[in-house]
């Protein structure tokens, strides 16, 4: 009980003696000192009062002026005159940015601003800016920024520290063509007091690639022209569609003083890319060029994925249906057989063969064959719903490519279907292939892909797909070839 009463009494004292902060008047002229009164201040020795623009966050970069009050509990402190505007005096304890109390006041007067006698320059002209009625401490500065960029140090293309200068002209070195702003800041902050826009005309910088499509064993050659600005210009390679951040940069080259010339980058894996030009160590691209890298095709020996003579079914698994793939003896040899499974869905008047099998590596991983895009195999008969094909990885994503006897029997042409994230490309296979003994089939997969997606390219073949067969249906000698 005694502890409870002591705690309660302490809380009452804290409430009765809460710190306050006030200015001696609500409005000051821009040549008057700001007088701030404090009462009942507690806390550590590192207490302080900061002056902020109204609405500015409690962070060191927003502090217009500060006064470290030490262990002052009651009394007044003074700040030098401020430029016209609305302000808050905020009290903080123990060198923190946790605000204890605040008060608002206004400074009347003519605000500082920037003036430009001309707002259009050529790319070889100096930029002239006129100061008018600049006030505040010595750490005032003017920065040149691209229009639309935020107020950060990294976005400042050039800066001019004003010292005691209040009025008059300042100059900046010439700029590359584009849209810009000169921004006035007080007290080494990043809160602009005045902004004025201007334009620089001339030939813009360009970036080109030596070719639109490279092989994956070729250097990427990029040419830049009319590059201007400061020394921290650079070119970066990015995957097409990725954002402009350092984590997305695949390779980079710092141009230093280069204005025109060629930049060489290391070879890249197959895919779509962009080379982007940046100025002043920023992540705001000036221009970019797209290019593509494709696989170098080597004339390799055929890759055999299924020869039933090994008497096993390693690498096969069932995607749909109740059965497993079989390795059977037939006429003194071995063949692969996948049994059909006929299902009647929702009372349909017909049945559907829903047995689907897939052949990958023995450990279940994809083939990832990025060299051989010709499919070859032997087949013997099958059901009227018989289909075979491959899973491929392409420039536009994964695709299932199927060659369907049913499509051939019905006289249908190639068809593209999308089921959620799955894209299926189906092509007709002549109905005669399910009759009359063994048939040797060969498919140029890239050619078939372009029939339905002319701008797409195969990056790799991942697996073989087979639907269920009936009767004498069987398959053998599945392989991929380079040509």
Domain boundaries along the sequence of the chain = 18-108, 113-201, 206-294, 303-481
Domain 18-108 CATH assignment equals 3.20.20.80: no
Dihedral sign from CA coordinates of 190, 192, 193, 195: positive
Q: What is the pLDDT of residue 282?
A: 85
Over the chain (483 residues), the average pLDDT of each successive run of 10 is 42 57 93 94 86 90 88 92 89 93 92 92 93 80 92 91 90 89 90 93 90 93 85 91 95 90 94 93 91 86 91 91 88 83 66 84 94 91 79 94 90 93 92 78 95 93 86 82 87
Architecture of domain 113-201: Sandwich (2.60)
> What residues have CB less than 8 Å from 438, skipping those under 6 apart?
378, 379, 380
Superfamily classification of domain 206-294? Macroglobulin (MG2) domain (2.60.40.1930)
pLDDT, position 409: 86
Do the Cβ atoms of 264 and 219 come closer than 8 Å? yes
Residue 10: predicted pLDDT: 41
Q: What are phi and psi of 433, to 5 degrees?
A: -70, -10
Q: Select from 340, 314, 318, 342 the least CA-distant residue to 327.
A: 314
Does domain 303-481 match CATH 1.10.10? no
How far apart (Å, rounded) are the C-alpha atoms in residues 290 and 454?
Answer: 19
Do residues 152 and 183 touch, judged by C-beta distance below 8 A? no
pLDDT at 191: 86
Tell me if domain 18-108 and domain 206-294 are identical in fold: yes
Closest to 359 (Cα-Cα) out of 273, 467, 216, 215: 467
- In this prediction, residue 329 carries a pLDDT of 87
DSSP letter assigned to residue 310: G
């Amino acid at each position: 009980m005694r502890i409870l009463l002591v705690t309660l009494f302490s809380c009452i004292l804290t409430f009765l003696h809460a710190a306050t902060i006030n200015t001696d008047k609500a409005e000051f002229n821009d040549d008057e000192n700001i007088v701030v009164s404090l009462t009942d201040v507690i806390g550590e020795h590192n207490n302080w009062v900061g002056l902020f623009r109204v609405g500015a966050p409690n962070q060191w970069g927003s502090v217009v002026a500060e006064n470290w009050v030490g262990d002052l509990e009651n009394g007044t402190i003074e700040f030098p005159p401020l430029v016209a505007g609305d302000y808050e005096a905020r009290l903080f304890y123990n060198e923190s940015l946790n605000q204890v109390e605040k008060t608002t006041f206004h400074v009347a007067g003519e605000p500082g601003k920037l003036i430009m006698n001309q707002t259009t320059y050529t790319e070889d002209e100096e930029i002239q800016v006129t100061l008018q009625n600049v006030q505040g401490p010595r750490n005032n500065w003017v920065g040149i920024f691209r229009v639309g960029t935020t107020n950060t140090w990294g976005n400042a293309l050039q800066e001019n520290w004003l010292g005691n200068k209040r009025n008059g002209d300042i100059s900046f070195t010439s700029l590359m063509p584009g849209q810009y702003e000169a921004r006035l800041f007080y007290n080494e902050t990043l809160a602009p007091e005045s902004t004025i826009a201007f334009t620089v005309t001339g030939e813009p910088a360009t970036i080109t690639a030596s070719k639109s499509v490279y092989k994956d064993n070729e250097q990427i050659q990029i040419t830049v022209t009319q590059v201007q600005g400061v020394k921290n210009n650079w070119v970066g390679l990015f995957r097409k569609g990725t954002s402009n951040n350092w984590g997305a940069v695949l390779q980079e080259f710092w141009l230093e003083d280069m204005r025109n010339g060629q930049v060489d980058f290391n070879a890249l894996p197959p895919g779509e890319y962009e080379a982007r030009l940046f100025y002043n160590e920023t992540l705001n691209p000036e221009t970019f060029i797209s290019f593509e890298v494709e696989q170098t095709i080597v004339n390799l020996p055929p890759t055999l994925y299924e020869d039933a003579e090994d008497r096993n079914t390693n690498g096969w698994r069932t995607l749909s249906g109740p059965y497993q793939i079989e390795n059977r003896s037939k006429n003194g040899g071995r063949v692969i057989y996948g049994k059909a499974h006929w299902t009647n869905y929702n009372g349909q008047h017909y049945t559907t063969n829903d047995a689907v099998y897939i052949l990958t590596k023995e450990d279940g991983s994809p083939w990832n064959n990025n060299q051989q895009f010709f499919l070859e195999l032997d087949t013997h008969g099958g059901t009227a719903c018989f289909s075979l094909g491959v899973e491929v990885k392409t420039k536009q994503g994964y695709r299932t490519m199927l060659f369907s006897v049913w499509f051939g029997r019905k006289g249908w042409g190639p068809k593209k279907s999308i089921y959620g994230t799955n894209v299926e490309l189906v092509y007709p296979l002549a109905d005669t292939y399910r009759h009359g003994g063994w048939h040797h089939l060969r498919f140029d997969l890239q050619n078939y892909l372009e029939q339905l997606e002319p701008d797409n390219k195969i990056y790799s073949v991942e697996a073989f797909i087979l639907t269920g067969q009936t009767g004498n249906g069987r398959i053998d000698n599945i392989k991929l070839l380079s040509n």
